[in-house]
Amino acid sequence: MPNVAETAAYYADFGLAPETGGVFSTVDGGKQLKLAEAPTRRLLEIRMGVDDPDDLDRIAASLARLGVTAKRDGTVLVTEEPVAGFRAVIEIAERLAQPEVPATPYNGPGRIERDTARAPVLSRGQPVRPRKLGHVVIGSTDRAATQRFFTEGLGFKTSDEVLGVAAFMRCSTDHHNVLVQQAPVNFLHHTSWQLDDVDEVGRGAMAMLEKHPERHAWGLGRHYIGSNFFWYLKDPAGNFSEYYSDLDCIIDDQLWQPGVFEGARSLYDWGPPLPPSFLLPEDVAGLMTGSHQSR
Ligand SMILES: [Fe+2]
């Protein structure tokens, strides 16, 4: 983005911990975001972990079959996605093992989990701190090709699809780590950050909006695809950032039935009405007009 300093202040407010060089870390995931200067906002690079050198060999061979070149340098494989044009770095890394956070006690009919006590959220004074980066959503002018890059090239699995529009893909037990959506221009739609529970989603968003109501984008709601609670906010560069909790997890690939969805269900199960500029933010429409004019 052009406005790195302003955007960095936003992500510090968001609860990511600033490191040096525009890098931010999460509680469980470590360094997971880097802001860098660019003439317009866009995704420059995405980094993924694999277990061993065999994985790198397999990915390099799969990419070659797609006609995509990749450069191997020791434990790292670097390539470029052919449509949206971001760098993809695949490196041998430890799997992320998250410590278990105890379930929040919620009372229900005939089910008193919180005996003679007020809700825990009322005594949570600390600002929210995302546990990890959950997923990245990429707008591509050729969704099918970008999707193939992730599935046939990098080995992602498809969890669910929106008919002709988007694919939710995973490289972990999370329902999705990357989502590619069809778009008139290539752009970064949002990044999404895991919180402990729905109370943290509400608390985090409220804190972000207290002095900056213009940051609000869409929420609170629950998605249908992935089932997660969501609240989307907008950074000063125009990228959405999502707080989420309670995302579907796919432990046994054999037991998951990928679905193909259409209409409202592809967007959410419940929540406020979809803002008109959510799927295609206004500045992206502007970029598109600009790219047409310059031809
Ligand atoms: Fe999301």
Residue 285: pLDDT band (50, 70, 90) is confident
Is pLDDT at 44 greater than 80 in this prediction? yes
CA-to-CA dists, residue 186 to 104, 143, 240, 249, angstroms = 40, 10, 15, 28
Distance CA 92, CA 52 (A): 6
Q: What is the pLDDT of residues 135-148, one digit of tens each?
A: 999 999 999 999 99
Residue 291: pLDDT band (50, 70, 90) is low
Residue 294: pLDDT band (50, 70, 90) is very low
CA of 179 to the centre of ligand 1 (A): 8
CA of 174 to the centre of ligand 1 (A): 12
Q: Mean pLDDT score of the chain, rounded to an integer? A: 95
CA of 66 to the centre of ligand 1 (A): 28
Distance CA 186, CA 38 (A): 14
165, 279 in Cβ contact below 8 A?
no
Distance CA 5, CA 156 (A): 34
Residue 175: pLDDT band (50, 70, 90) is very high
Q: What is the pLDDT of residues 13-33, one digit of tens each?
A: 999 999 999 999 999 999 999
CA of 180 to the centre of ligand 1 (A): 11
Phi then psi dihedrals of residue 6, to 5 deg: -65, -40
- Phi and psi based region of residue 88 (left: phi greater than 0; alpha: psi -120 to 50; beta: remaining): beta
pLDDT at 290: 61
CA of 21 to the centre of ligand 1 (A): 26
CA of 114 to the centre of ligand 1 (A): 31
Sheet with 76-80: strands ordered across? 45-50, 87-92, 76-80, 70-73
Sheet with 178-182: strands ordered across? 216-222, 229-234, 240-245, 187-194, 133-140, 178-182, 166-170, 157-162, 259-261
**pTM of the predicted model as reported, rounded to 2 decimal places:** 0.96
Distance CA 24, CA 32 (A): 6
Residue 293: pLDDT band (50, 70, 90) is very low
Is pLDDT at 67 greater than 60 in this prediction? yes
Phi then psi dihedrals of residue 220, to 5 deg: -75, 140
Phi then psi dihedrals of residue 34, to 5 deg: -130, 125
Beta strands in 132-281 (DSSP E): 133-140, 157-162, 166-170, 178-182, 187-194, 216-222, 229-234, 240-245, 259-261
CA of 75 to the centre of ligand 1 (A): 30
Q: What is the pLDDT of residues 71-125, one digit of tens each?
A: 999 999 999 999 999 999 999 999 999 999 999 999 999 999 999 999 999 999 9
CA of 242 to the centre of ligand 1 (A): 6
